[in-house]
A and B are shown apart, each in its own frame.
Chain A
Amino acid sequence: MKLDPAIRDQVLATVPSLRAFAISLCGNIDRADDLVQETLLRALAHIDSFEPGTNMPAWLFTILRNLFRSEYRKRRREVEDADGRYAETLKSHPEQTGRVEFEEFRAALAKLPSDQREALILVGASGFSYDDAAAICGCAVGTIKSRVNRARTRLADLLAIDSVDDFGPDRATRAVLAGGGRN
């Protein structure tokens, strides 16, 4: 029996979002695409365990996350250099955001513990409910809420600190250039 085309289309429709999530986990587009491919292979091999009418994106995200977690344990060291490489994964950057600001944001996001980052992305970017995100991550809803809040607080701190660092020397420089003493 062939795969129901409707199910197939649901799978395909989830791929763009699945890639975005994979990139946020891996920090590297090649590995992310491998991960997505592996997820699709696994999903289609076990498509019978998907109940039609239930949440296809959540099902696929769960598979992808589990694969990533088991791979992550093997390759921990490599994955941790994700920091600076994330920026290389995208061809463009969103128009409404300045390049510098965007890079700062990426850098700050990369500093979050991975469980906080994934919770924030699932809820804040993928658009999953807290319940779905909890199911995907295999933890309690309260845990997801806590991780998301912690992630947001930490990001706000990092971004605020960055901008103070950025403005500080600049202000000092301007003061010097203006021939000013200090007040």
Chain B
Amino acid sequence: MITASKMSFDANDANDANKVVMLAEARSDNWSQLLMKVGADRDKAAFALLFDHFAPLLKGFLMKGSALGPERAEELAQETMIKVWRKADSFNASKASASTWIYTIARNCRIDWLRREAKSSRDIEAEDIYEFGDENPSFNSLVQIRNRDKIRENLAFLPPEQLEVLAKIYFEGKTHSEVSLELDLPLGTVKSRIRLALNRLQVRMTAAEAKQDA
């Protein structure tokens, strides 16, 4: 298994923004390196390795929960990987890992596909919506960025009922209300499971939300 970064820091050492920047710059997982190679050199061999790793993951991800059948999921995985090839030079390893970057491309492909299916009269592309300018992190944000490298281990410790709700939201693109209907749970329960999961994954709540919880 490939870890997002080989460097790690003391969890309490939240004050050293320089380390955070170093951590991001040192992101050195193999997939991110391959992706940078594709971006810089249009390296087809590197792309083939990425394809063999990510296309099956994307297909599995998109199929989960039967939201999409295997054929559709494969088409979307294919579309995603072609975008990965076309956009690889805009991949920035200091902002996201390869799997996060590829996740966002797959999400955008799925959004556009669903809207084509719904025959919306006039569409803006998901890509336009999700490009809102460069991340320009404040100090607080840097602490949050550092926490991203712990997401994977923290996910492993989530109770199954919390992971189930998160999976429905991410894998199937379900809204909170749709999840509540599907699992036959009150909306409040869905929201509190999400809140607990996100707390454990160290996503910061807004001041107003923190007040509500207190």
Query: Is chain B a partner of chain A in the same complex?
Result: no
